Structure 1
Amino acid sequence: MIRNATLADFEFVYQLYMHPKTNPFLLYEFTSKEEFLPIIQPLIESNVIYIFYDEVQDLGMFKLIPLAHRNTHIAYLGGVAIHPEILGKGLGKQMLEAIVAFGKEKGFLRIELSVATHNEKAIHVYEKVGFSKEGTLRKYTHLKSEGKFIDEFMMAYLY
């Protein structure tokens, strides 16, 4: 199931963004809670961060950001993460299937994302759900803490 994140979810969102297993694949460098709150709070208040959950617990998160003007039929998917302690149980695929259904409900015709070219597990799950590679974004993301740039694939799901 999917619900909008609230400020009450800050701790969960922060843990996912700053976890050593997920952080290298997400947008923000390691930072303190005090520095992260003003970054994430406007996104939560804009209703673009969502929590994926079941009857028992929160399982993961994602951002689904509608584009504007001539691109209102498109949403950008980012910040996709399942809590590392429960990885390997098919929850990533379940979450992506829920995101695709949610995007359809919202009337999007396209969901796009970028993913590190070396993130083979994520790429496999995206493709399994129906996302296709559309190109390579060279030196797209700067991992400041590692002092390197990485390439990313642009992928999209078309309804």
Structure 2
Amino acid sequence: MESQLDLYGLELLNSINCTGLPPHKLILKVSVLVMLLRNIDQSNCLCNGTRLQVRKLGNYVIECEVLTGNNVGHIALIPRMNMVPINGTVPIRFQRIQFPIIVSFAMTINKSQGQTLSHVGLYLTKPVFTHGQLYVAISRVKSKRGLKVLLMNHVGMSANSTINVLYREVFEKIGF
């Protein structure tokens, strides 16, 4: 029986990028900002979405400084681990042994929930889907001076206001 590696080829398997799975080739340097993609140690706040800064690089462990959460400033050791993509579009099941991190110069509004940051920059190319998302994004910053917002209108020009999107058909179906 032919193995899956023979059927699909190493290059194809290495080219697969799925949500929650780091790229096959992860290029890191000391001081780069990264984000955890898995819950490693919840009691020490090493959870999915935690931002870290790389301090030392090893073959099997990366030493990082925690930048967010209750353990800011603590040192965390991030091991290589088995990563299995959970994605219905990938036709085969496979695993990679790699670090559960990704370079993180930015994060989505949903990933920022639970974070407290000194500086937050919002780049809104279209109206935010819900008031709750906008609130989460703005409330991540410690002070008003640390918040910068760039709003874009429908033709790509900067704007000074945005719309709180409301889909009335949602309320029609529940009887409002």
Instruction: Give the structure with higher Rg (CA).
Output: 2
Q: Which has the higher contact order (CA 8 A, sep 6+)?
A: 1
User: Which structure has more helix as a fraction of its residues?
Assistant: 1
How does the TM-score come out when normalised to structure 1? 0.31
User: Which structure has more strand as a fraction of its residues?
Assistant: 1
How does the TM-score come out when normalised to structure 2? 0.29
